[in-house]
Amino acid sequence: MTAASPAIEATGLTKVYGSGNTEVTAMRDVTLTIGKGEVVALLGPSGAGKSTLLTAIGLINPPTSGSIVIGGLPVMEGPEALVDVRGFRRRHIGYVFQKANLIPFLTALENVQLASEINDVPPREARSRALELLDYLGVGDRVKNLPHMLSGGQQQRVAVARALANSPSIVLADEPTAALDSVRGRQVMELFGKVAHEQGAGVLVVTHDHRALDVFDEILEMEDGTLRPPVRTTTHTEGSK
């Protein structure tokens, strides 16, 4: 992965679900670039294809055609994976969803630690990294709690910590604040900004929350499976590039 190349380069991404009568084109010829240290919002009505785009870039749901390059490395060419996708996800991609999706039988600390451990980080090291992250995210006092003992906001922050456990080169978040109140929601969004700017990751966040848009360097909008031209680019982005 070269330092100069962007975090994410997607070219001509198209996704067709089903076939024949039930055929749905969820995403049509989407091209986008997200630089390192850049945090980008993705807006759009329900059914616009935002999740489809995010899961395609996240190597969860292969596109029908188009290519994806992450950190300069071509990873998908149409539906064909050019790398070991699971290993790639493990090492380079962090995910956050609307629901925290924490493993219910693991404590906050263990949930974060596990992400590093499955990436072959020694347990001791994984643990101290997890503690550090949870502390940084303001849930350092709840590390021994199981997920069901945490509030929605706390759970989501643990999920963010988990996504960041392996210092990923890209972070993908799909409506991460939908279940949070506006204050908590804003905190999480600011966190993504911090991660992008401090760790140099490329961050793509799908959101409906218009109140926290000032956090983002760039705002994209999707409709009917296609991407509209950028709405706003802040000076912040130029500064960090």
| Binding region for other proteins (CB under 8 A) | 51, 55, 60-61, 86-91, 93, 95, 97, 101, 103-106, 110, 113-115, 117-119, 123, 146, 162, 174
Rounded to whole angstroms, how far apart are CA atoms 46 and 90?
29
Query: Rounded to the nearest whole angstrom, what is the least distance from the CB of residue 51 to Mg ion in the complex?
Result: 3
> In terms of CB distance, is 219 or 222 closer to other proteins?
222
The neighbour count for residue 152, using CB atoms within 10 Å, is 13
Write out the binding residues for ligand ADP, residues 46-65 only, by CB under 6 A.
46-52
Query: Which of ligand ADP, Mg ion, other proteins, none does residue 105 bind (CB under 5 to 8 Å by kind)?
Result: other proteins
Q: Which does 193 bind (CB under 5 to 8 A by kind): Mg ion, other proteins, ligand ADP, none?
A: none
> Per-residue x/- marks for Mg ion, 13-52, CB under 5 A?
--------------------------------------x-
With CB cut-offs between 5 and 8 Å by kind, which of ligand ADP, Mg ion, other proteins, none does residue 87 bind? other proteins
